[in-house]
Amino acid sequence: MTRWDLAGKVAVVTGGAGAIGSAICKGLGQAGAKVAVVDFNSGVAAKTAGDLARAGITAVSLAVDVADEKSVRAAAADIAGRWGSLDIVVNAAGNFIRSSLLETTEEEWDRTVDTHLKGSFLWAREAAAYMIPRRFGRIINVSSEVAVTGGRYGIAYAAAKAGIIGLTRSLARSLAPHAITANALAPGTTDTPLWRGGLTEGPALEEARAAKSKGVPLGRLGDPEDFVGLVLLLSSEEGSYITGQTIHVNGGAVMA
């Protein structure tokens, strides 16, 4: 159970079939929101929505390329037409290409920045058109601790995540007159398939976990569920006076 009441709200989670995205979908649904699971992978999105439905949550899946304007616009119209509003957007879609500065290609740069930054912009813009007349809206963009620390590898990823912070602040200023908030969630290293990459269960993975955990004051990597409570707060009426903020959830690894 959750203390937050989001009954009657309509939520969109991009990257909703991923580890963090699906945890957020579940949390929003348990708080009473109707949830649109948006993901490029239609099969996994459908499975996630099906799991939510079996748990008693009203959910639908949509296959969307978040970097494509027409795809985003059509999906936003579908959701608003289906459920009558679009109240909460969590931009969690992302990818990670491990490459150094000299190894990063233009195609890798464009694909990463488009997915993270352009996708967040497009969904915020389309959602705002539905939020403004209702004078209610919550936009939550997923950034990262590397937006602050930088990254030796994943140059494009770090740059895109830093851009999301600037985008979020601009959204907050632009949309505040309409009682719409915009905030950024910046996770630390989280134990997800995206982080594990080519590692499989076994000694190598445990060594990687232990090495990463040494730099975290709380002594462990993040779990996808660690971010759900903050998303619920920012989505709720109780979060109505929080906007333009970047909130780091990383066990103390980065204190910004």
Q: Please count the residues of the chain.
A: 256
Give the tens place of pLDDT for each residue, 165-213. 999 999 999 999 999 999 999 999 888 776 666 555 556 667 777 887 8
157 is known as an active-site residue: yes
Report pTM: 0.93
Domains, the chain, ranges and CATH?
10-187+222-249 (3.40.50.720)
Give the tens place of pLDDT for each residue, 13-54. 999 999 999 999 999 999 999 999 999 999 999 999 999 999
Out of 130, 153, 157, 241, the active site residue is 157
Distance CA 164, CA 253 (A): 20
